[in-house]
Amino acid sequence: AGSREELAAQLAKLNLETPEYIEGSYPEYNVVDLCRNFIAGQLTKLTGVDKKIAYESLEWSIVLEKGDLLVPLPRLRLKGDLVQMAGDIAGKFELGGYLDRVVPVGKFLQFFFSPKFLLNTVTPDVLKRGSEYGSAPLGKNKTVLVEFSSPNIAKPFHAGHLRSTIIGGFLSNLYEKLGWKVIRMNYIGDWGKQFGVLALGFKKYGSDKELAENPIQHLFHVYVRINQDISAEKEEAEKTGIPLDENTCTDGQARAFFRKMEEGDEKALFLWRKFRDLSIKRYVDTYARLNIKYDVYSGESQVSQMTIADVTEKLKEKELIIEDKGAWLVDFKKLGHKKLGKVLVQKSDGTSLYVTRDLGAAIERKNAYKFDKMIYVIASQQDLHTKQFFTILDMMGNKWAKDLVHVSFGMVLGMSTRKGTVVFLDDILENVQEKMLEIMQQNKEKFAQVDDPKKVADQVGISAVMIQDMQAKRVNNYEFGWDRMLSSEGDTGPYLQYAHSRLRSIERNCQVRPEELLTANMSMDNLCGNEEEIRKLNLSEEEEEKQLRSLKLRVEKATALIRIMASYPDTLRYASKNYEPSTLVTYLFKLTHQFSSTYKFLRVMGEPKEVLLARLALFSAVRQILNNGLRVLCITPVDRM
């Protein structure tokens, strides 16, 4: 986007007056904000209400039938008969070239943007700004840390991790688009007694070769086997009545081993470090397939013992923990938080716990990154845990505890592949790619035209998994349905990819240079035709009637499309406020459905050059928005499929 001066010059060219700038608006980035400024100015003029109040009272309209923006008059704090007032205001409202009409409905005013204005501003704006369309510097000079995915070494990568990865990847991109500095962090589960168990297991069952080749699977298998041994020992002890010897039984040895790790014994740490490094190396590749790159691979192991000691000290000092048989715990009920129960922060043997590490980690992150906001993307099973450590941080006196956000989400049901239960992210991705490739092969002709079918199958397949995950509100559980999500009919990832490749093909067929597109005459007359011209044709009455009807339809279709296109920047902003990927996904379906329906009436190929240019400019802009939206979702749009 240009500066505010450039915007004013641009508006002058369209014979529009620049509305007064209102604090907190981004008219040079977001056409809806420009209209907000205009409407607020008018409301102030007509009612005397404060500009800022008028601006903030403007609400987003979810359905086009109710306008592009609306204002509930009670929000303007006016006195009197509001229904009558709505009528009066609407009657006096100047449209100023920005609006098509103002409609009073009860105590509401609905504002409909002028399609002419939108066509002439939004289309060139999208084409000029390209991948930057939709962005705005809302988070200028602010830092957000997003912690997401956070799997556990030697344990399955389950659905909770998958959703955290998908939602977290989206949120990171979204905040980046909105001008924040984003730190992407993976907080690996790489600490705890299970690493003592794993080390013993590896000495017994491990293979360096397999570890190098397939670290994630191999460690998981070793972990499963050694745990079987532990269970067998326990059973044996129960059967025989001879108690286990803490010094020789596997579990006891594991405990001792982990204690040595916590004490910083380099020899004990050697194997653990290798497990961690190799696992992370493999994860880096898998995340790359999802277009995710972390800034920091942190983990529970990275929280320093000193920080944890400080935390415990502070908790004692503030009398937030009490001793219980040598262990220390927070009793929330006694501290005025009835619903949070109790939580152990230090075991009787002095070792730390999950919650303690989270407390330390948050403090260390605040010191290291000075974030303005920190987002945790963690499954709803950990709602209580998260509330507990957020509350403890707050009770400790950390003012920034209010800047912590838990983005929680529901479960995935029935996520299994042909080969059985899914345990690793790679399995899911391989499986979906295979299935997608099969589907693509069903259309031999199209398949032959795809350059790198495997890669396309990977990208489309992944988009199927991602869209399925993000299309409903994140609190909902959903059923993992291989066939449903891979279908190109209905609201699926492949459907969006298909729309993108179709738009690409329209562009390919026309072979117009991007600079030429910018010269398109975007008037409604040029785009859709006009009445006068039809009348001049001297058609039979019936034929003329028919032509006029289809003209009206074209105008309606073009209007609906451009209004949706205009609301993309606002959509991003809303999604960042409610941390909801579904806000963007729903938008993209709305956009692509409207494109399909508009394209039927506004054909491109074979039209006179002027018309072709305008229509192509419009659809190219649609493609650009779809492309931008998919990328925010971490999806790579495909050109052919």
Q: Which residues bind ligand ARG (CB under 6 A)?
A: 147, 150, 152, 187, 189, 358, 376, 378
d(CA 641, CA 625) in angstroms, rounded, equals: 19
Contacts of 608 (CB under 8 A, 6+ apart): none
- What residue type is assigned to position 572 of the chain? L
Beta bridge partners of 570: none
Beta bridge partners of 109: 71, 104
Phi, psi of 146 (to 5 degrees): -115, 115
Please confirm, yes or no, whether 155 is among the known catalytic residues: yes
Closer to ligand ARG at the Cβ: 406 or 557?
406
Rounded to a whole number of angstroms, the minimum distance from the CB of residue 185 to ligand ARG is 9
**Of 140 and 402, CB closest to ligand ARG:** 402
Beta carbon of residue 254, minimum distance to ligand ARG (angstroms, whole number): 19
> Could you tell me the CA-to-CA distances from 594 to 43, 157, 556, 587, 598 in Å, in that order?
32, 38, 11, 11, 6
- Give yes or no for a contact between 21 and 37, defined as CB atoms under 8 angstroms apart: yes
Q: Which of 158, 366, 500, 557 is catalytic?
A: 158
Buried b (16+ CB within 10 A) or exposed e, 463-476: bbbbbbbbbbebee
In whole angstroms, what is the distance from residue 166 CA to residue 377 CA?
Answer: 10
Which of 632, 601, 602 has its CA nearest to residue 614?
Answer: 602
Query: Is 158 annotated in the active site?
Result: yes
Closest CB to ligand ARG among residues 108, 409 = 409
Residue closer to ligand ARG, measured from CB, 187 or 371: 187
Alpha helices in 214-249 (DSSP H): 215-240
| Six token digits for residue 37 | 């400024």
CB nearer to ligand ARG: pick between 112 and 297: 297
Of 116, 161, 406, 500, which residue is the catalytic one? 161
Q: How far is the CB of 485 from ligand ARG (least distance, A)?
A: 24
Q: Which is nearer to ligand ARG, 361 or 440 (CB)?
A: 361
536 is catalytic: no
CA distance 133 to 114: 20
Which residue, 134 or 189, is less far from ligand ARG as judged by CB? 189
What secondary structure does DSSP assign to 248-315, as a single string? TSHHHHHHHHHHHHHTT-HHHHHHHHHHHHHHHHHHHHHHHHTT---SEEEEGGGS-HHHHHHHHHHH
- Give 153 or 503: the residue with its C-beta nearer to ligand ARG: 153
DSSP-derived pairing of the beta strands 404-407 and 296-299: unpaired
Q: CB 10 → ligand ARG: shortest distance, Å? A: 47
The token pair that represents 126 in the structure block = 């999208």
Transcribe 307-341 into DSSP letters.
HHHHHHHHHHHTT--EEETTEEEEEGGGGT-GGG-
In whole angstroms, how close is the CB of 152 to ligand ARG at the nearest point? Answer: 5
Residue 171: what residue type?
L
Burial class (CB in 10 A: 0-12, 13-18, 19+), 129: middle
Q: Which entry of 45, 142, 155, 593 is annotated as an active-site residue?
A: 155
Q: Closest distance between ligand ARG and the C-beta of residue 362, in Å?
A: 8
Q: Which of 565, 608, 616 is nearest to 588 (CA)?
A: 565
| Angle (CA) 621 577 332, round 5° | 155
Going by C-alpha positions, the residue among 31, 185, 127 that lies closest to residue 520 is 127
Distance CA 569, CA 625 (A): 10
Kindly tell me which of 25 and 152 has the beta carbon lying closer to ligand ARG: 152
Q: Which residues, other chains included, contact 208 with Cβ-Cβ below 8 Å and sequence gap of 6+? A: none
Partners of residue 434 on adjacent β-strands:
none
Q: Minimum distance from CB of 321 to ligand ARG (Å)? A: 19
Q: What is the C-alpha separation between 575 and 470, in angstroms, rounded?
A: 12
> In the complex with ligand ARG, which residue's Cβ is closer, 378 or 496?
378
Nearest-CB residue for ligand ARG? 189
Residues carrying an active site annotation: 155, 158, 161
